[in-house]
Amino acid sequence: MSSETQKILTTDGVPLEESLKKSEKRNKIKAFLLVAPLLLFLIITYIFPIAEMFTRSIDDRMVTNMLPKTFKSMENWDGKELPSEEIFRSFYEDYKILAEKKEHGKLGQRLNKEKNGFNSILKRLFRNIKRNKIDENSSIKVQLTKIHRHYENVDYWRAIKRTAPPYTMNKYLKGMDMFLDEDGNIAQVDEDRRIHRILWLRTLEIALFVTIFCFLMGYPIAHLLATLPMKYSNLLMICVLLPFWTSLLVRTASWMILLQQQGLVNDFFVMIGLVSDNNRPEMMYNKVGTYVAMTQILLPFMVLPLYSVMKTISPSLMRAGKSLGGTPFVAFWKVYFPLTIPGIGAGCLLVFILAIGYYITPALVGGASGTLISNQIAYHMKTTLDWSFASAMGLMLLTGVLVVYWIYNKLVGVDNIKLG
C-alpha cells in the first residue's frame, strides 16, 4: 500500500497531520495576540526607557557635533605640545558659530566637567567675539593666548581631545569615583572627592538594615494575623493596610514631627527618665530618622507576603511537633519556620529592592548622613542637568538589584519565593 493511501484524511479531504499543524499554528497566533498588548506595554514602559537610559549614559557626541572642524584638525595631533595654528583657527571658527547661535553655554559646561576652568576661558572668548576684538586675518593662536593664559596650557586642549570618542564609559567610571587619565588608564579621583562609593555603601547598608528591621517586626505581626480568629485578624489587617491609604509625604512629615528634639518621642524619653531634658538625642536628619521612617513605611510589604504564606500552614503541624516530644520553640524552629521561608524570601526581596531605590523619605529625614544614591541621581537630574551621569548611576543601581536577585537565586532559589 502506498504512503498516500496510508494518510488519514479529515472530512474535507485534507491530511490530518497537515490540518493539525494549521490548527496549532492558529492557536499560537491567537495566544500571541492575547499577550501582545502586555508585551507592547512592557516594551514601552520598561524595555524602551532602560535602552534610552543606556544610550544616554554612553552618548558623548555633543562636543564632537559642536566642534567638527576642531576634531578633524586634531586627528594627527599627538597631544604632547601646544596645538598648531590650524587647530586654534578651527576651534575659533567652530566656537564662533556656536556663539552666533547662542549654544556656546552647553559646550562650556560640558568641557568644564572635563577640565576645571574651561567655562571661564570660553566665556572670555565669547565676550571678545561679541565685541569684534579678534582679527581673523591675524594669528588666532597668538590672540587666544593673549585673551587667557589657559589657552597656552596643553592640558585644556588634551581635555578637548579626550571628548572625541562618540561613545564612552566615563560616566560609569565617575559613578565609582574613577576616571581615565591623560594616558587612557583608569585612575581614582582624589580621596577628598570620593563620594559616590560612600553613597553606594550607605545605600546598601540602609537597605539591608531596613530589611532586617522589617523582618524582625513583620514576622510576629504576620504570625499573629495568621493564628488569630478571623474577626480579630481582619481588624488587625486593616491596621496593617492603613498606611497604604495615607500619602507617603504625610507619613514622612509625621515622622519629622515625632522624631525632632522637641517631638513626642523625645518628650516620652524625658518623661520616663531615659534621657535628661538637656541631652535629647538627635533622631532627625541622620541615619536614625531614615531607619525609623523607612521601616514603618515598608513594613506592610514584609507582613503581607509572610501572612499569605503563614495562612496556608495548618495549625495541626505545630501540635504534631509538640506531641512528638518537642518543646514549643523546637517545634516552631524545626516545623513552622522552614515552611515560612518562601514568604521570608518574597518579603525580604521586596523590601530590599524598594529600600535600595527609595528617594522621598531619605531626602526629607536623612540629612547629609542619610543621603542615598537615589538622592544623588535626582540631584544630577534637577540641578546639574547631567542626565547622562544620572542615567549611568540609575543603570548601575538596576544592575545591583539584578545581582542581588541572582545571588538570592543561587543561594535559595527563586522557585522558593511564594506569595501564598
Among 127, 144, 166, the domain boundary falls at 166
Note whether residue 384 is domain-resident. Answer: yes
Among 166, 188, 215, the domain boundary falls at 166
Model-wide pTM > 0.85: no
Note whether residue 113 is domain-resident. Answer: yes
pLDDT tens per residue, range 224-259: 988 888 888 888 888 888 888 888 888 888 888 888
The CATH number covering residue 350 comes to 1.10.3720.10
Q: What is the average pLDDT across 404-417?
A: 74
Note whether residue 110 is domain-resident. Answer: yes
Q: What burial class does residue 131 get, using C-beta atoms within 10 Å of its C-beta: 0-12 exposed, 13-18 middle, 19+ buried? A: exposed
Helix runs in 272-332, H state only: 287-310, 316-323, 328-331
Could you tell me if 228 and 366 lie in one domain?
A: yes
Could you tell me if 204 and 137 lie in one domain?
A: no
Note whether residue 42 is domain-resident. Answer: no
**C-alpha–C-alpha distance, residues 63 and 80, integer Å:** 21
Note whether residue 33 is domain-resident. Answer: no
Could you tell me if 267 and 390 lie in one domain?
A: yes
pLDDT confidence bin for 3, thresholds 50/70/90: very low
Could you tell me if 218 and 119 lie in one domain?
A: no
Percent of the chain predicted with pLDDT > 90: 8
Note whether residue 182 is domain-resident. Answer: no
Could you tell me if 280 and 217 lie in one domain?
A: yes
CB atoms within 10 A of CB 301: 22
**C-alpha–C-alpha distance, residues 148 and 125, integer Å:** 8
Residue 47 has pLDDT above 60, yes or no: yes
Q: Which residues contact 219 (CB under 8 A, 6 or more apart)?
A: 306, 340, 344
Could you tell me if 227 and 114 lie in one domain?
A: no
Could you tell me if 86 and 130 lie in one domain?
A: yes
Residue 1 has pLDDT above 70, yes or no: no
pLDDT confidence bin for 414, thresholds 50/70/90: low
Could you tell me if 214 and 349 lie in one domain?
A: yes
Q: Which residues contact 385 (CB under 8 A, 6 or more apart)?
A: none
Could you tell me if 318 and 386 lie in one domain?
A: yes
Residue 66 has pLDDT above 50, yes or no: yes
Could you tell me if 144 and 210 lie in one domain?
A: no
**C-alpha–C-alpha distance, residues 62 and 394, integer Å:** 21
Note whether residue 176 is domain-resident. Answer: no
Please report where in the chains the cell 485578624 appears, as a residue.
Answer: 233
pLDDT attached to residue 63: 84
Could you tell me if 364 and 218 lie in one domain?
A: yes
How many distinct structural domains can be found in the chain? 2
pLDDT tens per residue, range 182-209: 666 788 888 778 888 888 999 999 999 9
Among 144, 166, 188, the domain boundary falls at 166
Residue 5 has pLDDT above 60, yes or no: no
pLDDT confidence bin for 351, thresholds 50/70/90: very high
* Structural domain containing residue 297: 196-416
Could you tell me if 212 and 349 lie in one domain?
A: yes
Note whether residue 40 is domain-resident. Answer: no
